A and B are shown apart, each in its own frame.
Chain A
């Protein structure tokens, strides 16, 4: 079974907790999901540029003249509104699926008596 993850909502969700650069977003997604979600770099930047085009995030360079410049992304008001809509839709979806799923079966503890 494969669930289609809304990566735009995931990125907006990460940015809702605070401004970050691309690498930090990818790292946050990986760590927060316990390694379940991997936002590939090839997917991350096109997603971020798309969010920027839509006006849902704004980006600005930090330490641009240093040898380690960073492009920091911040969520906008429109981005927060979009996130709310997407989050609502996602929760409705997962709740509907959860109702149809049986409770997880707990594995019996192994070991010799």
Chain B
């Protein structure tokens, strides 16, 4: 490795990432620096050794180039809010899409089974984009991303809860609710039988309740404590209309997400009464605030941890590259 070769590597690493005139100026200054460093070292050692020592002190060309590019692009000084712009958009979309998909299940209940994978894919893309930006900027970006996420979650939760409330108070839901209570009551002997069978008693001598293929789509997401597929099949048959089944599926999907934690309380409230509960605006607002703050704190903690990890890895990678470079220079 010579100074000329080192500067060539540096030029290759900088080309296309900043204007050519800036590259020329930076390389000229670094060359002057290396020559002065070499002259100083040459007073106590051979010329070749002094050259290697000067290069070694400068560090790996790619690491230096990355630092110069970061400085040129203003990553070190620009506000974190500005730097995290497109990352925030991707992270928010990653969260927003599954929530919107939950609302869409009212159109097609079968979509409910795709929500969890969508959530996972959205999270991976969001965290990936966040990691790339932290790696590039070497900055703490968790703060501004979390603020936007909180606003995003607040709006989405509010929409979800208002939507669920309207559906809960609709004629369809009332019909479904009555049918559900009827179905639950009718299923009591079935539940007893299953419980008894689990305790080790032989099953009752009667044929299974037929399960329709339709029940398979919503069964895993059902919010009710259904202990067997037979019970679920019977419950589904007890439902009066297709739209009621669809609304039911929507609640199931909401449960599948953590959003349903609060709605679950509303559901059990509605379920325990003979008529569905009417939710006040205050209750919706309170639920929205509580749910949003719960989810926001989780999101913030998660982003903070990811940010720390990516920063640690990025800085560690720089240190490792410099160490490896110095070792290779001293070996040559």
Given A41-B58, A45-B26, A69-B28, answer yes or no on A23-B33 (Cβ-Cβ < 8 Å). yes
B30 at the interface (CB under 8 A from A): yes
CA distance A42 to B30 in the complex (A): 10
A94 to chain B, nearest CB (A): 25
B63 at the interface (CB under 8 A from A): yes
Q: Which residue of B lies closest to A40 (CB)?
A: B59
> Which of B65-73, B140-148, B272-280 makes up part of the contact surface?
B65-73
Determine which of A23, A41, A50 lies in contact with B77 in the assembled complex, contact meaning CB atoms within 8 Å.
Answer: A50
Residues 31-47 of chain A, each 1 if its beta carbon lies under 8 Å from chain B, else 0: 00000000011110110
Q: Which residue of B lies closest to A44 (CB)?
A: B33
CA distance A50 to B77 in the complex (A): 8
Contacts of B322 in A (CB 8 A): 42
CA distance A68 to B31 in the complex (A): 9
8 Å CB interface, A21-71 against B: 21-23, 40-43, 45-46, 49-50, 53, 68-71
Residues 68-91 of chain A, each 1 if its beta carbon lies under 8 Å from chain B, else 0: 111100000000000000000000
Q: Which residue of A lies closest to B58 (CB)?
A: A41
User: Are A42 and B32 touching (Cβ within 8 A)?
Assistant: no
B20 at the interface (CB under 8 A from A): no
Q: DSSP class of A's interface residues: helix, strand, loop or mixed? A: helix
Contacts of B67 in A (CB 8 A): 42-43, 45-46
Contacts of A42 in B (CB 8 A): 58-59, 63-64, 67, 322
Q: Which residue of B lies closest to A69 (CB)?
A: B32
Inter-chain residue pair count (beta carbon < 8 A) = 51
B8 at the interface (CB under 8 A from A): no
User: Are A22 and B57 touching (Cβ within 8 A)?
Assistant: no
CA distance A45 to B30 in the complex (A): 9
B29 at the interface (CB under 8 A from A): yes
B36 at the interface (CB under 8 A from A): yes
Number of chain A residues whose Cβ lies closer than 8 Å to a Cβ of chain B? 16
CA distance A59 to B46 in the complex (A): 33
CA distance A68 to B59 in the complex (A): 22
CA distance A102 to B59 in the complex (A): 39
> How large, as a class, is the contact surface on chain B?
20 to 34
CA distance A73 to B68 in the complex (A): 18
User: Are B37 and A23 touching (Cβ within 8 A)?
Assistant: yes
A56 to chain B, nearest CB (A): 12
Which residue, of B29, B57, B70, B322, has the highest number of chain A Cβ atoms within 10 A?
B29
Q: Which residue of B lies closest to A26 (CB)?
A: B33
Which residue, of B30, B32, B35, B64, has the highest number of chain A Cβ atoms within 10 A?
B32
B44 to chain A, nearest CB (A): 15
B274 to chain A, nearest CB (A): 65
Contacts of A43 in B (CB 8 A): 67
Contacts of A53 in B (CB 8 A): 77
B224 to chain A, nearest CB (A): 56
Contacts of A49 in B (CB 8 A): 68, 71-72
Determine which of A21, A41, A46 lies in contact with B57 in the assembled complex, contact meaning CB atoms within 8 Å.
Answer: A41
Determine which of A22, A40, A50 lies in contact with B29 in the assembled complex, contact meaning CB atoms within 8 Å.
Answer: A22
A37 to chain B, nearest CB (A): 15
CA distance A41 to B77 in the complex (A): 19
Contacts of A69 in B (CB 8 A): 28, 32
Listed A/B pairs (13) with beta-carbon separation below 8 Å: A21-B36, A22-B29, A41-B58, A42-B58, A45-B30, A45-B67, A45-B68, A46-B70, A46-B76, A49-B72, A50-B71, A53-B77, A71-B29
Other than A41-B58, A71-B29, give 7 A-B pairs with Cβ distance below 8 A. A23-B32, A41-B33, A45-B29, A46-B70, A46-B71, A50-B71, A70-B32
Chain B interface residues toward A at CB < 8 A: 26, 28-30, 32-33, 35-37, 57-59, 63-64, 67-68, 70-72, 76-77, 322
